[in-house]
Amino acid sequence: MPGNKEAFRFLNKMYNEGLLLQDFALDQLAQKFRQELVNGRMGGGTTNTNEPVYLGYLADLHARDPHAVLTPIDPFTSNDGRTPKPILEKTGLYIMVPSNSKNAEAAVKYLNWMARPEHYTTLQNGVLGVTYEMKDGVPVMLDNEETKRMLYNYLDYCIILNGRFVSAGNTELNVRANTAFDPRYESFSLKSLEYAMKDAIEVPRIKVILESEIKYGSILREKEEEMYVKLVTAPPETFEAVYDKEVAAYMRMGGLQVMEEKQAAYRDHAQ
């Protein structure tokens, strides 16, 4: 994509100047990211909206240093002055039950059960009076050990929703529900959500099956991970050569076929 090479060159420059985690390639689950933030060794980073609040590590930071400051920013500006960032399609998440499943009927019944307000409210918030209380129509989390355990797992409990959900017709209530993980950080959460939605765009998707991706997808994903590390960690004087070599190898491994099929699918979709 246009600009990709220069983006990697910038990451390479930051890495070689010691501004990125030197062992970032090993931090597949972003555990080191959180540790560095909590320990005050990070100047900036990218998370999922108000993740530091709902995963609890902003509270951990302040438990370690009550005077620490973490603030949302919206710094990445495009050529036209916008600050675009990706959002999910309105559909959000597709949950599929294989037709050959021995428990297909039970799985669908389970999802239907989960879709009832009295059930997803409990799955997302725990027990009323134990982990949360209702305030002006919004579940507000309580400050106790039970709630802390809940915060780290609620997304897994309620797989049909990403983020807390209160009302299908009241966006304000849903926003307030998603800022009520910890009342101390309501302003942080509101600003984070504001930035997340500003100039947000759905990532273009090709809604057809590409034979080239079926054939080459797995090996190309492995190559992408390898390329990412090589390009970021290369000595600056060799970056140009490493980039050209890795892209050429990627294209030979099936990248060219995937690119051409995607371009054709985009053209067909546009028509």
pLDDT in the model for residue 92? 75
- Asked whether the beta carbons of 132 and 147 are under 8 A apart, the reply is yes
Instruction: Detail the DSSP E strand segments found in 92-246.
Output: 132-135, 138-141, 200-202
pLDDT in the model for residue 262? 92
pLDDT in the model for residue 271? 62
Centre a 10 Å sphere on the Cβ of residue 80 and count the other Cβ atoms it contains: 7
pTM: 0.76
pLDDT in the model for residue 147? 82
- Asked whether the beta carbons of 55 and 151 are under 8 A apart, the reply is yes
Q: How far apart are CA 46 and CA 30, in angstroms?
A: 11
Centre a 10 Å sphere on the Cβ of residue 173 and count the other Cβ atoms it contains: 17
Distances (CA, A) of 261 to 70, 101, 171, 223, 247: 44, 32, 39, 19, 18
Q: Report which residue type is found at 2.
A: P
Each residue's pLDDT tens digit, 40-97: 988 888 888 888 988 888 999 999 999 999 999 999 998 899 999 988 887 777 889 9
Each residue's pLDDT tens digit, 52-68: 988 888 999 999 999 99
Ranges of residues in the chain with a pLDDT under 50 are: none
Q: How far apart are CA 159 and CA 152, in angstroms?
A: 14
Phi/psi of residue 265, nearest 5 degrees: -65, -40
pLDDT in the model for residue 256? 97
- Asked whether the beta carbons of 265 and 206 are under 8 A apart, the reply is yes
Can you give 240-268 as a three-state secondary structure string?
HHHHHHHHHHHHHHHHHHHHHHHHHHHHH
pLDDT in the model for residue 71? 95
